[in-house]
Amino acid sequence: MRKGIVWFTVLTGIFSLTTCTKDVYVPNTCFKEDILPIFVSNCTMSGCHNSIDKKEGYDLSNYDGIMKGVKVGKPNSSEIFHSISGNDPEMPEKPYSKLSKQDVTKIKSWIQMGAKNSSNCTDCDTTNYTYSGRINPIIQTWCKGCHSATSPGGGINLSSYAGVVSSIPNNQLLGSIKHISTFSAMPKGTTQLSQCDIDAVEKWINAGFPNN
Ligand code: HEC
């Protein structure tokens, strides 16, 4: 009888551990590459959680600002996680879309794994600069929230290949991500893209910006 109870306890323990791990653990979650862009692209639009407007006291454009709403190791007691998760999340407010399940899971894993300020977690891939494999993912990760059809910052809609191409003339796209002083620095209000990402965009433009 005793043995039975012990086994039951051990087995339920293992079961909840594995289901829990399966549900939330995203290995190698990197702050700069995976987490920061989710906040920048979905929360720092004009009037929201940027360094100027600081709605509800939150500037989510950098690590320190994000950490104000994070309890290390405890997503469910972190105000930020609370506001974006659950069946009817409070944030982002309308007209902006809610975060994808995948993004919510990434943020949860990152908090559980210690909410570290990590960067450059993957090796720089200097060979791939195709539109579909490299350029579009950069734009989707870092720019989409502020340059979509519904909220085209500065009138620029980067949600399609044609939109991205129309931002290339006069060095606009490259000038903005290289932080050349005659352009607005992009992504707006946060750190610059990695040199690896900037190089990929430049190579793609110099190659004639193919839709590949
Ligand atoms: C937080 C919102 C936000 C994010 C994120 C963002 N942009 Fe912008 N972007 C804007 C706004 C707003 C403008 C209009 C100019 C301004 O207010 O600075 C703009 C302007 C631009 C311009 C025109 C710059 C000029 O000086 O002519 C380009 C090009 C651009 N963005 C590209 C990008 C790219 C590429 C990314 C991602 C790497 C990005 N933006 C991310 C909000 C954003």
pLDDT digits over 72-97, tens only? 999 999 999 999 999 999 999 988 88
CA angle 149, 135, 175 (to 5 degrees): 80
Amino acid letter, residue 12: T
Whether the pLDDT of residue 16 is over 90: the answer is: no
Structure tokens at 156: 């620029």
Q: Is 200 in the pocket of ligand 1 (CB under 6 A)?
A: no
CA distance 184 to 192: 12
Cα 173 to its chain centre, rounded Å, is 20
Whether the pLDDT of residue 7 is over 50: the answer is: yes
| Residue among 41, 33, 58 nearest 100 (CA) | 41
Q: Is 36 in the pocket of ligand 1 (CB under 6 A)?
A: no
Q: For the chain, what's the residue count?
A: 212
Q: Is 173 in the pocket of ligand 1 (CB under 6 A)?
A: yes
In the reported structure, the alpha carbon of residue 101 is separated from the centroid of ligand 1 by a whole-number distance in angstroms of: 26
Indicate the pTM of the whole model. Answer: 0.85
Alpha-carbon radius of gyration of the chain: 20
Q: What is the pLDDT of residue 121?
A: 87
Question: Bigger pLDDT: 11 or 144?
Answer: 144
Q: Is 201 in the pocket of ligand 1 (CB under 6 A)?
A: no
Cα separations in angstroms, 142 against 19, 25, 115, 138: 31, 23, 20, 6
In the reported structure, the alpha carbon of residue 78 is separated from the centroid of ligand 1 by a whole-number distance in angstroms of: 30
Q: What is the pLDDT of residue 6?
A: 55
Report the b/e string of 42-58 with b at 16+ CB within 10 A.
bbbbeebbbeeeeeeeb
CA distance 58 to 43: 10
- For the stretch 123-181, pLDDT in tens is 888 899 999 999 999 999 999 889 998 889 999 999 999 999 999 999 999 999 999 99
Question: Can you tell me which atom of ligand 1 is nearest the CA of 170?
Answer: 27
Q: Is 174 in the pocket of ligand 1 (CB under 6 A)?
A: no
CA angle 200, 205, 209 (to 5 degrees): 110
CB-based contacts of 16, cutoff 8 Å, min separation 6: none
Where in the chain are the domains? 31-112, 131-206
